[in-house]
Amino acid sequence: MPIKGAFLFMTTSKVQYTKPWIDVKDQVTKLISRGLVVSDVNEAERFIRYINYYRFSGFCLRFQYWDTTINDRVFIQGTKFEDVVKVCRFDEELRDCLSDALEMVEISLRSSVAYHFGKTFGAFGHLDPANFNRAFSQKTPCPSAKDLYVVPYREWYNTLLAETKRSREIFVRHFEQNYLQYPNLPIWVVSELCSFGTLSRMFSNLRNKEQGMIAKDYGLQYLVLSSWLHTFTFVRNVCAHHARIWDKQISIAPKLPQGKNWKMVMQTTRTVSVVVLMLNWMLAHDSIAKQRHLVWKKRIESLIDRFSSEFPSLLPHTGFVADWKKNPLWWQI
């Protein structure tokens, strides 16, 4: 029985890569030889030239199966070039939706971290390792032959300094020209220019009390929020690099809250569907972004509904189910 999108590695040892460069015309011919229906060869060539054959082939996988007679992948009978293009466009729109939500979450989180941490420790409290959990300031083994040990806090702080010095923001230049503490910036300033990954790492290494205060803003336990931020960082990087996301297995699976509604999606924690539910939860707890959140929800619903009607057999690869909108996590928050 055909296995859609199967990744089959038939060799047990490494070999030299010998595949040659081929012209875009030959790339389209190769797709046709594998069973893809192409009604307009010129249009196919233009699209492949734009998107890159290797990238396009990644979207083809869900329309293919492994043919043991020729030891290669072939297309399921009747698969059209336009079908693969539609999935490419769906993936593009989905990344845009995720990026839009992640932007709102990131802005909210920056504010929450700066507010609670600054209230407790002051403008430059992040310069003192004692204001973080104990493990953050302890030496840990490092795989580098040059340095046998690394201090996580020092590593994080150096990243923060590098991000500050790279910044060309007017408010950073103003601080440099007027205050002696530069390149150190107040927490409510530095939180505006550090990367999401740096901010996530800071949160995961705060003391439990401070983590709890921030997590409370989002109706979550701090261990759950810490896990979600790790997952969001991964998804944000995927979106920023315009990589395929619709059927991707999320490498960093999030920890889900307790409760029957979350148990309903426990088997799909590594799919984009759970990321959508997590973002929906975060946005539902941001009163300022409420109107934008509602617009985002309608956009997501329309996108998934359209994909479901066009490619019902592919929907499970996203983690969404036919009646996904009935989950209280989506409509009752």
The pLDDT, as a whole number, for residue 143 is 63
Output the pLDDT for position 140. Answer: 77
The crossing angle, in degrees rounded to 10, of helices 222-240 and 196-204 is 160
Single-letter amino acid code for the residue at 317:
H
Tell me the one-letter amino acid at 308.
Answer: S
330's tokens: 């989506």
Task: Give me the amino acid identity at 321.
Answer: V
Q: Flag residues of the chain having pLDDT under 70.
A: 1-12, 142-150, 333
pLDDT of res. 287: 76
Q: Are 279 and 101 in contact (CB under 8 A)?
A: yes
The H-or-E segment that residue 137 falls in is none
**What pLDDT is recorded for position 103?**
95
Residue 142 has a pLDDT of 66
Look up tokens 């929906």; give the residue: 280
Cβ-contact 319, 271 below 8 angstroms = yes
pTM: 0.89
Which residues, 6 or more positions from 297, have their beta carbon under 8 angstroms from its beta carbon?
A: 280, 330
The dihedral sign for the CA sequence 230, 233, 239, 243:
negative
Distances (CA, A) of 263 to 255, 257, 259, 269, 332: 11, 9, 6, 10, 16
What pLDDT is attached to residue 83?
A: 98
